[in-house]
Amino acid sequence: MVSGAHDAKTPPVVSLAAGGVAGGIEAFTSYPLEFAKTRVQLRSQKGIPTPRNPFLVVGQVYGKEGLRAVYKGCGALVVGSIAKDGVRFLFFDTIKHAFADPTTNMLTPLSNLLAGMTAGITASITAVTPTERIKTALIDDARTTKRFRSGLHATRTIWAEHGILGLYRGFAGTTLKQASATAFRLGTYNSLKDWQTQRAVPQNALTHFANGSVAGVVTTLATQPFDVIKTRSQSAVGASMLEAVKSVVADYGVRGFWKGTSMRLGRTVFSGGILFTSYEAAVKVIMPLYEGARGVDGNVWMGAYPVVHFFL
């Protein structure tokens, strides 16, 4: 059995469903920290200091604009996270088993990173870039022109003004971030779990949360510049990758590429623990339903469709 992000015998359809459930839970519970990080990374007025405490940012916005403002763009992120993490876990699992050593049924650290990188690129193309673009545009618009009424309205407006390329604004930065972030997040988690399995370390909710949190720290420190560039590219006005890089350097210098690190670190440590703990729990819940729906004749697709449709 291949140890790692989940059991080797977990069917792809269960990986997809469990990943979607975990992604939605993680996105919603950690959104205020994501909101604060995005606000800090967006371009601000000269001479006005930006708070480094994420709770201070959230508190200021809540006091001035209310709870709805704090959760502006949350719907887009949750929908995107359901699709993103469903795809990420599905592809990571598939690629992971293809790369696994036939003797030990485990991956080398490099293979873990390559599997995660491929899964991240796939997720960026299929789900992450457009939903991140809408989320970032909503947060930016809420502090400036306030012309977007909802995520759907923002999508329609951007589509009408810029076409599909408008929804894929910041694709290069987002894909770089997703490829590197998924490589480090899933790769680190899988490597930790392999190491623990070899040493008979019990795998429970506490272990999953701890491993996910460590993966979050590694991911944040390694990929923060890509996250800053992506945020600048996907503002309400939008910018090319080169323009985003230039604006960060002009505003803050090279140190600006790590703007919002402490806020993102707070989120990824928490969200990493939530994501993998939720994923492992979701697999345990969905797997028996899947096996029951599969039936005696082994017809997976007809039997499992209602179950998968319910969770997605």
pLDDT for position 48 = 61
Position 49 scores a pLDDT of: 63
Tokens 């809540």 belong to: 62
Query: What pTM value is reported for the model?
Result: 0.71
Q: What's the pLDDT score for residue 7?
A: 47
CB 107 within 8 A of CB 101: yes
Question: How far, in Å, CA of 80 to CA of 281, rounded?
Answer: 21
Residue 116 region by backbone torsions, left for phi larger than 0, else alpha for psi between -120 and 50, else beta: alpha
Strand, helix or coil at 286? helix
CB-count exposure of residue 99 (10 Å: 0-12, 13-18, 19+): middle
Sign, CA dihedral 56-276-203-4, equals: negative
What's the chain's Rg over C-alpha atoms?
A: 20
- pLDDT, residue 228, reads 87
CATH number of 12-311: 1.50.40.10
Residue 221 has a pLDDT of: 87
Ranges of each domain in the chain: 12-311
> For 309, what's the count of Cα atoms within 13 Å in the CB-facing half-sphere?
7
3-state secondary structure (DSSP) of residue 25: helix
Could you tell me the mean pLDDT of each successive run of 10 residues in the chain, 312 residues long? 48 91 92 82 63 76 84 84 89 80 76 87 88 85 83 91 89 85 90 89 93 92 86 76 87 86 82 93 91 61 44 42
